[in-house]
Amino acid sequence: MSASRHGRMRSRLAALAVAAVAVTGLAACAPGGGGAAKPSHSDGPVKLTWWDYYQPGTTASDGLDTMIKKYEKSHPNVTVDRQYVAYDQLKQTLLQSAGAASVPDIVIINSPDHQQFAETGIAADLTKQLKDWGQLSKYPKGLIASATYKGKVYGLPITANCLALFYDKKALADAGLKPPTTWDELKEDALKLKSGSRYGLSFSAINNQQAVFQWLPTLWQAGGDLNKLTSPDSVRALDFWAGLVKDGSVSKEALNWDQTAAEVEFAQGRAAMMINGPWQIPTLAKDAPNLDYGVALLPKDKESASALGGENYLITDGPNEQASWDLVKWLQQPANLEYLAKQNGSLPTRSDTQPFSDSDAIKTFTKQLQVARPRAYGSNYAEIADAVVIAIQSTISGSATAKDALDKAAATVKPLLP
Amino acid sequence: MTAIAQTRPTVPRGTAGRRLARRSARYLFVAPALFYLLLLMFYPLAYTFNLSVFDVNAGNFLRGGAAFVGLQNYLDFISSPDFLSSLAITLIFTVGSLVFQHVIGFCFALFFNTGFPLSGLLRAIMMVVWVLPAVVSASLWRWMYAGSYGVINAFLGLFGIHTTQAWLTDPSTALPAVIISNIWIGIPFHMMLVFAGLQTIPTTLYEAAAIDGASAWRRFWSITAPLMRPVILTALLLGFVHTFKVFDIIYVMTSGGPANATNVLSIAVYKLSFEYFRLGDGAAAANVLLVIPLLLSIVYLFFRRREETSL
């Protein structure tokens, strides 16, 4: 190889290096900052993009389609492009599309995720609009709290729910039992109801947030809370839950059941009772039309409690903020809201609506709602919930004692709480 | 290279402009490959690295203003209590899967190499496992492992072992269960690589050995094994890199549970970035996940080069 060749090689390498530096140069700045443009309202035709995770073909999804079509008819300048995004991909997809500055205008999100999204800056601050609207007082405080971040409100609820105890009337009658009202009764009854391939109770202790949602009522009933996981009350709450599995009243597979799977066990007669929410009522009607079931308040310990769940509308901070708010406002009109609540199996989200007023199950749920508490643990809830799930799962599976598991979880959770 | 250098003086020298055109033509030829590398390989890597040295989270990802933290995210991840257990789980998962995938795949390849009737068809059918989307296979296995209605417990029942063991929800059996599923998925890949390698060994070698009276065992260790060494190494390396970052199978079967028993590094990275929105920490963790297969690849290339030069 000649000297000149060496030189050429060097210059080529230099060119490569320059190109490389140019590319790194593009990236060598603090990431982020590519936020959305500020709102600029116009009266021309508006196309709104809408995301939700209501599976196509379900009554909830059909209900939304009906309402959106109705709105488009009465507002000819607005078209709504509704897209389905699977629940477990929604958060990730939303964040990625925000990074690419192409977020949808309206998103339906699970209420405990709302604060996290408010923190990202994707969500539009609706505090002023809500004040002008003047109807916020008609909504239960807990529901609004889930959409509130640092004193500002970033959305409105579409559905509300809480957990209660479903029971198979025939199974209980055969065993000569009434629905349990205390922990002791629940423990005894669940054991008595176990027969053959049927377990006494089903709940979800799966490896995601649903398990925490399901366990929180027990934790609160005992007088514990996520900010005092090491307290004897919290330990007792976890021991009680794990004890139900150890007794054989609940199948070990609860560790792999989401709330839908817990419902399937109950619908198929493989569990005599289940802890679940009102959204299962339309599903049960479809899965087990002949099952005669009742709904009772969750058994209490020191106090009664349930977990408040639901979904919220989130409007993104962008040029279509006003048009989106108009649509959400329209959907909040009592008649429209009642229709959607029926389609969704939702409890009333406004004091002036009364869907399913004739159903005993909904009456019980509405009563249960009064002691239901929101999961308002700040924007780190997802990570807090994961630490708690590990504690729940390791206790139920017997790989750790409730105390050790909760001590470990508390160490993770403490710095994450607001 | 030398050939070009020798012919160079015979190329007629033109004007400066022509020389420039000739020179830029050279760069134009490299441009597509360079562009591809920079855009699709280098840029994401640089971006991830950049992300990993800032404290990027939900609050400042879009708004900007993340603080520069140097290598703190890396230190935090490596010193977090779950890192060592995740690393151990990942290594057990990878090595456990790889050893069995390769040995079983090798046996199948030897078997198919005998060329019995319909062997081509059967080989093609085996590939279906590899072609199936991971989500499908994982859902299938998840269902098979179920305690009360799973087909595996039903099968064990045939032999008088009656159990309702829920394989995936018991922390002591979840990892072995996931490994077994992954072995099943990976066998065809190793079988195909080994099979292709076996085809390149001339049959005359075996014939000569047979004439010399070498047993089948001897023929395997003295002909097949040494000649297959590069193929084995390649298959193991590719398998390692692929298995080390497996995400979908575990995510579908256990999502890292129960109680973190199958929490491999890729799941930890996913959770950091897309569930907790701690993108800086997630990027650092992703780079840690990248380093181990990368080191192994370098070791592999080093050995390959030494082997080639020794030939």
Give residue A411's pLDDT. 94
- The rounded distance, in Å, linking the Cα atoms of A262 and A270 is 10
State the fold for domain A46-161+309-373: D-Maltodextrin-Binding Protein; domain 2 (3.40.190)
Contact assessment for residue A201 and residue A379, using Cβ atoms and an 8 Å cutoff = no
What residues pair up with B306 in beta bridges, in sequence order?
none
* Residue pLDDT tens, chain B, 311 long: 444 444 454 555 557 778 888 888 888 889 999 999 999 999 999 999 999 999 988 778 877 888 899 999 999 999 988 899 999 999 999 999 999 999 999 999 999 998 888 888 999 998 888 889 999 999 999 999 988 778 999 999 999 888 888 899 888 999 999 999 999 999 999 999 999 999 999 999 999 999 999 898 999 999 999 999 989 999 999 999 999 999 999 999 988 878 889 999 999 999 999 888 899 999 999 999 999 889 988 988 888 888 777 65
Amino acid at A398: G
Burial of A18 from C-beta contacts in 10 A (0-12 / 13-18 / 19+): exposed
Token digits for B140? 């299938």
pLDDT digit string, tens, across residues A258-275: 898 999 999 999 999 999
The DSSP secondary structure of A19-32, one letter per residue, reads HHHHHHHHH-S-S-
Q: In a 3-state reduction of DSSP, which class is residue A136?
A: helix
Residue A247 has pLDDT above 50, yes or no: yes
Residue A71 has pLDDT above 80, yes or no: yes
For tokens 């192409």, the residue is A102
- The rounded distance, in Å, linking the Cα atoms of A105 and B251 is 30
Amino acid at B268: A
Residues of chain A contacting B276 with CB distance shorter than 8 Å? 380, 382-383, 386
Residues of chain B contacting A31 with CB distance shorter than 8 Å? 47, 50-51, 54, 56, 61, 64, 66, 279
- The rounded distance, in Å, linking the Cα atoms of A412 and A215 is 18
List Cβ neighbours of A60 (8 Å cut-off, separation of 6 or more). A54, A343, A344, A345
What residues pair up with A182 in beta bridges, in sequence order?
A300
**CATH 3.40.190.10 residue spans of chain A:** 46-161+309-373, 162-308+378-416
* A 161-180 near B (Cβ less than 8 A): none
Pairwise pLDDT comparison (A100 vs A85), residue with the higher score: A85
Contact assessment for residue B87 and residue B78, using Cβ atoms and an 8 Å cutoff = no
Q: Are strands A271-276 and A164-168 parallel, antiparallel or unpaired?
A: antiparallel
How many CA atoms within 13 Å lie on the side-chain side of A318? Answer: 21
The CATH code for residues B81-310 is: 1.10.3720.10
Residues of chain B contacting A150 with CB distance shorter than 8 Å? none
pLDDT digit string, tens, across residues A104-128: 999 999 998 899 889 888 899 999 9
* A 71-100 near B (Cβ less than 8 A): 91-92, 95, 98-99
Burial of A75 from C-beta contacts in 10 A (0-12 / 13-18 / 19+): middle
- The rounded distance, in Å, linking the Cα atoms of A244 and A188 is 10
Contact assessment for residue A328 and residue A156, using Cβ atoms and an 8 Å cutoff = yes
pLDDT digit string, tens, across residues B205-259: 999 999 999 898 999 999 999 999 989 999 999 999 999 999 999 999 988 878 8
Mutate to test the interface with A, among B23, B47, B169, B274 (most CBs of A within 10 A): B169
The average pLDDT across A391-396 equals 95
- The rounded distance, in Å, linking the Cα atoms of B175 and A65 is 43
- The rounded distance, in Å, linking the Cα atoms of A142 and A376 is 9
Amino acid at A324: S
Contact assessment for residue A169 and residue A294, using Cβ atoms and an 8 Å cutoff = yes
For tokens 């370098």, the residue is B298
Range with the poorest average pLDDT among A23-27, A161-165, A242-246, B24-28:
A23-27
- The rounded distance, in Å, linking the Cα atoms of B263 and B246 is 11
* B 168-227 near A (Cβ less than 8 A): 168-172
- Overall size of chain A counted in residues: 418
Cβ contact, residue pair B50, A27, below 8 Å: yes
Which CATH homologous superfamily contains domain A162-308+378-416? Periplasmic binding protein-like II (3.40.190.10)
pLDDT digit string, tens, across residues A172-228: 999 999 999 999 999 999 999 999 889 999 999 998 889 999 999 999 999 999 999
Report chain A's mean pLDDT, rounded to a whole number.
87
Burial of A222 from C-beta contacts in 10 A (0-12 / 13-18 / 19+): buried
Token digits for A370? 């009064």
Instruction: Cis check for the bond before B258: say yes or no (omega within 30 of 0).
Output: yes
What ipTM did this prediction achieve?
0.74
Give backbone dihedrals phi and psi of A250, rounded to 5 degrees, phi first: -120, 140
- The rounded distance, in Å, linking the Cα atoms of A333 and A329 is 7
CA dihedral (A201, A207, A211, A216) positive or negative? positive
User: How are the residues of chain A apportioned to helix, strand and coil, as percentages rounded to the nearest 5?
Assistant: 50, 15, 30
- The rounded distance, in Å, linking the Cα atoms of B27 and A12 is 9
List the domain boundaries for chain B.
Answer: 2-42, 81-310
Q: Does A255 touch chain B (CB under 8 A)?
A: yes
Residues of chain B contacting A98 with CB distance shorter than 8 Å? 61-62
Residues of chain A contacting B65 with CB distance shorter than 8 Å? 30, 32-33
pLDDT digit string, tens, across residues A275-332: 999 988 888 888 899 999 999 999 999 999 999 999 999 999 989 999 999 999 999 9
Q: Does B7 touch chain A (CB under 8 A)?
A: no
Give residue A32's pLDDT. 52
